Amino acid sequence: MTPLLDDGQRWRVIAGDTLQLLPDLPDASVDAVVCDPPYGIDFHNQEWDGKTIRRTARSRGERLSNGQAFEYWTTSWATEFGRVLKPGGHLLAFGAPRMAHRLISGVEDSGLEIRDVLMWLHGQGMPKSRRLPDGQGTALKPFYEPILLARRALEAPVADNVARHGTGAMNTEACSLDPGPGESRRRWPAHVVMSHSPGCRPRRCAPGCPAAVLEAQHAGASRFLYCAKASRRERDAGCEHLPARPTGLFPTAARDASAPAVRNPHPTVKPIALMRWLVALVCPPGGLVLDPFCGSGTTGAAAVLEGRRFVGIELDPHHADVARARITHWSRHAGGEDTGGPEDRPPRPTRAGRRRSA
């Protein structure tokens, strides 16, 4: 098996099918896997989030429900993670609330150890609900996304495992939060991350903002990490030379002349600030991060900004091109974040009570 990166190479994005490429990756070669895999919910009728998963699961030769197919598919890639991760290496994987139990079961069946479930509160989802008579509906407004935290088994007591492989523990001190008013110690990182709503202003939150809700409940928003949703500027940065395409989120987008054309049309872009915090939490400095569902490259951008190496795999060739362009753009800022104007500075996670614009 060839090395994942050539000598001196900091990152690469491979266009191809993850399930076909993962078996070619060397054993125990990856420090952490940080990814946003398909959720198995037929997202906007996208084939990669439904039909492709069910087609793969049919190889078992038995009839499976959609949930069973997603769980089987999850076990397929998670089993490979258990091989390519170093002993004690961590996995972080986003999921959909209604499929999180299948994600967790599929990963657990692969042999990885379930460690925790983080929660990203964003409050910005649109309810996929039918409006029925008498004020009835069929769905609730999405407010959060779960993030599964799992780990390959240790081969020695944790301190020895860390000394031997650099993996097995999380960088909790590096990811802790600045002290709040009147406090002397940094806050231990929690398994909740939040985003302000798009309509929030520096001193006034929009109705329903997660930070405002927690503050109103006396939880203290400053106890949590704040990561803004990815702005269009952040999504497209580095892609100026690529052709503009419709976002394609709706069936009529291709024939709707008013549909916005963008450089990065990926439908589920995560904020760089959030991915930076996750990468820094589970990957040792200088370590190698794998994202086998690379999308438009946000994990890769986060990795290079945090001084980690990165390998991404992406099925869609156009998304792979977008990922390469975005990572190239942000890699120029690694180690020199305070250069350029505010619009060029890489987004960074902050304490929720000390907001920064993206």
Mean per-residue pLDDT over the chain, rounded: 83
In a domain, 356, yes or no: no
For CA atoms 65, 67, 71, 77, give the dihedral sign.
positive
Confidence of residue 236 (pLDDT cuts 50, 70, 90): confident
> pLDDT, tens digit, for every residue of 298-326?
999 999 999 999 999 999 899 999 999 99
> pLDDT, tens digit, for every residue of 90-143?
999 999 999 999 999 999 999 999 999 999 987 667 777 888 999 999 988 888
The structure's pTM equals 0.86
Rounded Cα distance between 127 and 92, Å, is 26
87: number of CA atoms within 13 Å, CB side? 13
Tell me the residue ranges of DSSP E strands in 249-299.
261-262, 288-291
Evaluate if residue 216 carries a pLDDT over 70.
no
Residue 117: both structure tokens together = 């479930």
**Residue 162: Cβ within 10 Å count:** 16
> pLDDT, tens digit, for every residue of 54-94?
777 776 667 788 888 899 899 999 999 999 999 999 999 99
Confidence of residue 354 (pLDDT cuts 50, 70, 90): very low
Q: Is 160 helix (H, G, I), strand (E, B) or coil?
A: helix
Type and span of the H or E element at 310: strand 309-314
What does the pLDDT read at residue 217? 61
Confidence of residue 290 (pLDDT cuts 50, 70, 90): very high
In a domain, 147, yes or no: yes
Q: How far is CA 242 from CA 168, 263, 314, in A?
A: 40, 6, 17
What does the pLDDT read at residue 93? 98
In a domain, 98, yes or no: yes
> pLDDT, tens digit, for every residue of 15-40?
999 999 999 999 999 999 999 998 87
Nearest to 249 by CA among 237, 238, 261: 261
What does the pLDDT read at residue 194? 80
Rounded to an integer, the average pLDDT of 181-199 is 77
Give the single-character DSSP code of 185.
S
In a domain, 1, yes or no: no
Q: How many residues does the chain have?
A: 358
Evaluate if residue 260 carries a pLDDT over 80.
no
Max avg pLDDT among 147-156, 218-227, 237-246, 335-344:
147-156
Rounded Cα distance between 94 and 103, Å, is 9
Rounded to an integer, the average pLDDT of 169-192 is 83
Evaluate if residue 207 carries a pLDDT over 60.
yes
Evaluate if residue 352 carries a pLDDT over 60.
no
For CA atoms 199, 201, 204, 205, give the dihedral sign.
positive
What does the pLDDT read at residue 254? 46
Q: How many domains does the chain have?
A: 1
What does the pLDDT read at residue 3? 76
Give the single-character DSSP code of 332.
T
Domain of 312 in residue numbering reads as: 11-127+138-351
> What single letter denotes the amino acid at residue 103?
L
Rounded to an integer, the average pLDDT of 174-180 is 79
Q: Which of residues 268 and 17 earns the better pLDDT score?
A: 17
Evaluate if residue 358 carries a pLDDT over 70.
no
In a domain, 6, yes or no: no
What does the pLDDT read at residue 122? 79
Rounded Cα distance between 178 and 176, Å, is 7
Confidence of residue 152 (pLDDT cuts 50, 70, 90): very high
Looking up residue 88, the CATH number of its domain turns out to be: 3.40.50.150
Q: How far apart are the first and last CA of the chain?
A: 41
> What single letter denotes the amino acid at residue 324?
R
Q: Which of residues 42 and 237 earns the better pLDDT score?
A: 237
Nearest to 150 by CA among 120, 115, 119, 100: 115
Percent of the chain with pLDDT over 90: 47
What does the pLDDT read at residue 243? 85
In a domain, 132, yes or no: no
In a domain, 358, yes or no: no
> What single letter denotes the amino acid at residue 186?
R
What does the pLDDT read at residue 42? 59
